[in-house]
Structure 1
Amino acid sequence: MNISGSVVFVTGASRGLGLAFVKEAVARGAKKVYAGVRNPAAFDVPGVIAVKLDVTDEASVRAAAQHCQDTTLLVNNAGIASVMQGPLDQNMIELSQHLMDTNYYGVIRVSQAFAPILAANGGGGIINVLSDVTWLSIPLLAAYAATKSAAWSFTNALRLQVRGDNTQVVGLHVGFIDTDLTQGFDVPKSTPKAVVDSAYETLEAGGFEALADEGSRYIKSTLSSADAVYFNPPMPG
């Protein structure tokens, strides 16, 4: 599908990658752009309609969907992250449950609410923001990685279910992005615009998976190898 002329709804749009998705949709000629944010009063981007949304709240998701019945492209971007000592931490379950509510269940809630809308509008697209830790989990990000692996699995199942409705599903994989979320991490980072460009270009080309940086492409390329990178990752942790 084309971004130009589409009606785009982006979750977690107040800053960082979500804000980049919103701005680039406008730049690419979207007919209308909705920004799903917790506090619409604090959001002011020309040409963008702020919509109150908390992806952890079923009622909030339903209300946003009811308000945006003309949506043809959904971007499931909302997400949270946390570092930890490792998978044997005493708080592993508690932290995993906390992250899952946004990163996994949030994607499910929003997709369930908006997929029927896309179908009613003749089909469209869904972009789910995932991560390279979907495939390469390290101890510091064990809980976060589990949520992204779960979201990847859901993305793949969702793609198969909605293809009959003429809806295309793209999974976006990327490593560190230069946003507030990664401040303090001294690692190579992609710019938000470069990541958004990769996702939108994959969608417009009819693809199913956007690998937005060199690291994600390398990790994916090793998955079928006997020495897959997740056995001996070249990084601390």
Structure 2
Amino acid sequence: MKLPDKQCAIATAIAEIKDGDTVMVGGFGVPGTPMTLIHALVAHGARNLTLIKNDANEPGMGIDHLLQSGQVTRLITTHLGLNSNAIALMNGGKLAVEFNAQGILAERIRAGGAGIGAILSDIGIGTELADGKQVVAMAGKDYVVEPALRADVALIHADRADSFGNLAYVATARNFNPLMAMAAKCVIAEAETVLPLGGLRADDVHTPGVFVDHVTALGELSKEYAVVRR
């Protein structure tokens, strides 16, 4: 059986995102954030989105473009501290924000990809992080029930891909990308280099192509992909 070629234009892939969708966005700060796909989503114009991302990037960068265009109504994240725009939107009641401890966010996404309904954690017991959540007792200890996270679409950045969607990441740019690629109905990956099928050694594949629906090739990387210097 011949494996399908999943390469397509960025606009074609992004067009699958609908108003009201939940969208996971890879990245930890700059590394691993799919900047080009984010710009394409801004141009596409889907609204009332729920975003799941480790952070809100910085003003004028990454998902800040989606926040400033008014396309996001809810953000599930770990912190906003580097983005004054996101903080202003939250404090002004224009953006609902759900905060998670970073490890809990990663584990909730991992659980979603593994088909597990929830995880149990003692992190946040007695704090605002546990407000409104179910708490269960086990072996004399209380645990917060943290529901698994899944999404309609995941936007992923990879260093290399092949035409079937096998993905390879570089160093810390891997971060949340492999977890999110397993936890969404539709996975769109941008790759700096797209190789023919077989161009990636099996040992170099971090996300198997079975999890990926669309592969888009990047041209020259914009300055937004550079490491931020302060």
Could you state the TM-score of these two structures normalised by the residue count of structure 2? Answer: 0.39
Structure ranking higher in helix proportion:
1
Q: Highest relative contact order (Cα 8 Å, sep 6+), 1 or 2?
A: 2
Could you state the TM-score of these two structures normalised by the residue count of structure 1? Answer: 0.38
Structure ranking higher in strand proportion:
2
